[in-house]
Structure 1
Amino acid sequence: MNKIFISILIIGSVTIAHLPLSSTAYAVGADQAEKPKRKTQLVGASVGKKVAKAFEAYGVEADDGSNVDNALVLLLDINAKKDYDVAFLNRFIGMMYAQKSDEKNAIDYLNKAVAPDILNETEQADALKVIGDLQMQVQGYKEALIAYDAWMDFTGKSDANVWMKIAQANLELKQYAKVVPAADNAIAELGDKVNQNPYVLKLNAFYERKMYKECVGVLETAVQVLPDIKLFWTQLASFYAMTENYPKSLSTLELAYKKGFLDKESEIVMLANLYAQSEIPHKAAVLLEKYIDSGVVKRDDKNVFTLANTWHASQHISKAAGYYGELAKMTNLSKHYSKQGMLLNQDEQFAKAIVALKKAIEIGVSNEGRLNQSIAESYFYLGDYKQAYVYVQKALKDPKARRTAKGWVSYIKDTAARKNVSI
């Protein structure tokens, strides 16, 4: 509760000069317009003088808050008799307690102030709204809703901020079905002005009820109305994925990336996964490589594995082999050395292939015969027919590799004989 606001509330009613309250520029609803205008009341002269002294004490600059305490001492000592004077005094005291962030006393005094319903229109309206705001602060959400309803009933107004608070209170009370209409009313009242809060409130209300398609609808509108809010783009992509609309999920996240909105590891990885899932592995690999190298995406075994896979899927065999080699060193798992060796063999990097395949066998593999066959082939293409023959013999011992190995035995022998090499 800021000092300027309290000053406005108080000065307009104190009878220092016995001036009536100025009219308030509210847009009153049709029902309220038919009500007779409330007669303006003034604080009695005796009470008014004492209130003026309290206000003077409040107006003294004090960083330690003693100005509020001094004002309260004077106000609490006033013995008002008339009903309006009592209500006005309770309202003033309530505002002082609000200034001290003493919500309990503030609410108590303000409730006593509005209960007789005799304050001037602006005073009554302001007090009702402040009660609602204070109840929100102390998580008295049911009581806040009562206060806001009373404020709207009294003023005939429909205010965007109040509707947002009503939506928030209902969300906190898990009354999710009531959140959406309140948020929609806020959006309607905002008109050409835009505010992300009503959309966030609607989104939460639908999400809590697992109404994911409705979440998509909210976010599709939100990104049009508030195109610069990053969160809406990434959430829209996530909800498209949750509803299995992967093409839209990809196009949305890709657009968010082009707008410069993706700066978190999870967002980059999600986009890379969507590229891979959509059979665009090259884009996935390029993206991951860029952000792993920059440090945005962790260089861990999971991400390097994805990077190796996507380079392999995009037929960049040498790059894939390199990343499988990096992964093998990270994990010391034979399957990664095996994959590296097979790819190096395919890429005709035979000497490196032999090293990786032998390392895999050393660690332990279930398909040793196949790896021995690949080692034999690598030695063959390097012109080492003697070692090729040694490893093809090892491959023959494995039933799963025997058929292929048999074909290579005679091929190795014939080639060696033709080149006058003894095996």
Structure 2
Amino acid sequence: MMHKKLTMLFSASVLCGVLAAGVPVANAQDINYNLPPAEEIQQRKDNRRNLTVSERVGRRIMSAFELYSEKEDIKGAIVELEAIEPREAFDQAYVDRFLGNLYAADNRIEDAYKRVNRAADADVLGWSDQASALKLAADLSLQLEDYRSALNYYGKWLQFTGEGNGDVFLRIANSYYELRQFDKVIRPADLAIQYYEKPNKNPYVLKVASYYERKMYNDAIKVLESGLEIFPAEKSWWNQLGMIYMLEEQLDKALQTLEIAYLAGYFEKENQFKALIQLYSNNGISYDSARLMVNHLNSGDIEKTARNYQSAASNFEMAREYSRAAEMYGLAAKLADEREDRAEYYRKKGTAHLRAQEYTEAAQSYLEAIDQGFDELGPVYMSLTEAYFYQNNFNEALKYVQEAQKYDGQRRNARSWESYIRSKASNRGISL
């Protein structure tokens, strides 16, 4: 590709060039997007006078070109050109431009940058050669992350050629973004969209980034919505749109958008699955929230952590799926690092079993919470009382209700329960 480019640049004219008429220079930070009309550009072309390289320089240039084009000897061609000592401005600019292209082909980007910039700044090359030098100076500046220089040369190229070019406008937008001048990204990005013959997603990406950095989330939403009409299969945009809807608290739209992305198979990251899970929970769709969490914990899309299992458990509880909630609390307890967290998860597991009328499992979970050092024993003793009572294990129920009476917050309720337990046991002929 570089060989073809160099051939085109060189063959434009070894022996002729044009002296530029005064062309307005765009400020590096203030690109002039009002392009000259075609008539004005043609007049400038006609007004440039022809120049030729000297015979001595021309012979060395031809020799270098043959080394490059026929023998593919880039380094040899560079040596040939470096030996030239031009005396005239046009000779120097022509050698600089050709040598800069060879340096670029040899991946000597900084050397290429210096040569091509000098050739472009001299402004004495032929029309097409000067346009190419300005464009390459800008592209090399961008490659070296000298964004101000890139803007300078892209601006000059626009005014010199009068050409609307999608790639150039995109690179201008990118340069402003890299300079964190986010407000200046939008105009060139819009022009890139306008001038690309085939739709290109990158100007949309830069516009979204510009608005996002400035917290202009509604504008970012509009860009993504319009972009998805053109690129409906751009999976990352569906996720981004859903997330920004969430930032704007448009939860219905966020849920709808992320559901589409999920069903289309566009989720790739854990946070994407978890965002949809959270939206289901926030919208009161607790069962789907819990089910989705469990499915993707099992598939490995979401990391198996105590917190994630606890999320599934709490949503199953809200959906009144108490047995499944208990199962999830048990898994959370096994993964918890801190003793106090394990104790809390076992207590919650016990309560879920109790609500599911799984009294044996409830009692076992409450005892595990006590073994793990659960701090607030009074409520746990009352829960144990209830679990044993409904197993008709009145002796254990009495034992724990009496323990509960030692705590001020439970004493009154515990005494009532003790009377109730003794009454029930008596009715069944059980001596306590």
User: TM-score w.r.t. structure 2 length?
Assistant: 0.88
Deviations 1:47-74 (A, max 9, x none): 4333221111113556xxxx22211222
Partner of 1:185, secondary structure, is: helix
Q: State the match for 2:100 in structure 1.
A: 94
% same residue: 33
Contact 1:369 1:398 in 2 (8 A): yes
- Within 5 Å, which residues of 2 pair with 1:256-335? 256-331=261-336, 332=339, 333-335=342-344
Q: Which runs of 5+ in 2 are unaligned?
A: 17-35
Contact 2:100 2:113 in 1 (8 A): yes
Partners in 2 of 1:172 and 1:312 — Cα distance?
Answer: 48
Q: How many residues align?
A: 409
- Within 5 Å, which residues of 2 pair with 1:22-421? 29-37=38-46, 38=48, 42-61=52-71, 67-81=73-87, 83-191=89-197, 193-331=198-336, 332=339, 333-421=342-430
1:265, CA displacement in angstroms? Answer: 1.0
1:81, CA displacement in angstroms? Answer: 4.8
Partner of 1:406, secondary structure, is: helix
Partners in 2 of 1:400 and 1:79 — Cα distance?
Answer: 98
Partners in 1 of 2:236 and 2:412 — Cα distance?
Answer: 58
Summarize the Cα distance change of 1:378–1:49 in structure 2 as closer, same or farther, 3 Å threshold: same
Deviations 1:239-287 (A, max 9, x none): 1111222222221111111111112111111110111011111111111
One-letter code aligned to 1:394: E
Partner of 2:13, secondary structure, is: coil
Moved more, 170-179 or 255-264: 170-179
Partner of 1:115, secondary structure, is: helix
Q: State the match for 2:10 in structure 1.
A: 10
1:79, CA displacement in angstroms? Answer: 4.6
Q: State the match for 2:33 in structure 1.
A: none
Deviations 1:4-44 (A, max 9, x none): 211221133236xx9xxxxxxxx973532443524555545
Moved more, 125-134 or 67-76: 67-76
Partners in 1 of 2:234 and 2:251 — Cα distance?
Answer: 22
Contact 1:28 1:155 in 2 (8 A): no
Contact 1:30 1:156 in 2 (8 A): no
Deviations 1:290-341 (A, max 9, x none): 1100111111011011011111111100000111122223224221111111
1:366, CA displacement in angstroms? Answer: 4.2
Partners in 1 of 2:314 and 2:70 — Cα distance?
Answer: 71
User: TM-score w.r.t. structure 1 length?
Assistant: 0.90
Partner of 1:35, secondary structure, is: helix
Partners in 2 of 1:317 and 1:73 — Cα distance?
Answer: 81
Partner of 1:399, secondary structure, is: coil
Summarize the Cα distance change of 1:341–1:124 in structure 2 as closer, same or farther, 3 Å threshold: same
Partners in 2 of 1:294 and 1:362 — Cα distance?
Answer: 33
Partners in 2 of 1:80 and 1:263 — Cα distance?
Answer: 58
Partners in 1 of 2:319 and 2:106 — Cα distance?
Answer: 65
- Larger relative contact order, structure 1 or 2 (CA cutoff 8 Å, min sep 6): 2
Partners in 2 of 1:107 and 1:329 — Cα distance?
Answer: 61
Partner of 1:345, secondary structure, is: helix
Moved more, 47-56 or 182-191: 47-56
One-letter code aligned to 2:254: S
What is the alpha-carbon root mean square deviation over aligned residues?
Answer: 2.3
Contact 1:301 1:327 in 2 (8 A): yes
One-letter code aligned to 1:184: D
One-letter code aligned to 1:205: S
Partners in 1 of 2:300 and 2:215 — Cα distance?
Answer: 35
Deviations 1:173-226 (A, max 9, x none): 2222211111111111115x2212111212222222222222222222222222
One-letter code aligned to 2:419: S
Partner of 1:298, secondary structure, is: coil
Summarize the Cα distance change of 1:36–1:360 in structure 2 as closer, same or farther, 3 Å threshold: closer
Partners in 2 of 1:30 and 1:260 — Cα distance?
Answer: 52
Contact 2:287 2:316 in 1 (8 A): yes
1:347, CA displacement in angstroms? Answer: 1.4
Partners in 2 of 1:12 and 1:290 — Cα distance?
Answer: 64
Partner of 1:157, secondary structure, is: coil
Contact 2:120 2:137 in 1 (8 A): no
Q: State the match for 2:24 in structure 1.
A: none
Contact 1:13 1:43 in 2 (8 A): no
One-letter code aligned to 2:261: A
One-letter code aligned to 1:208: E
Moved more, 156-165 or 353-362: 353-362
One-letter code aligned to 1:362: D
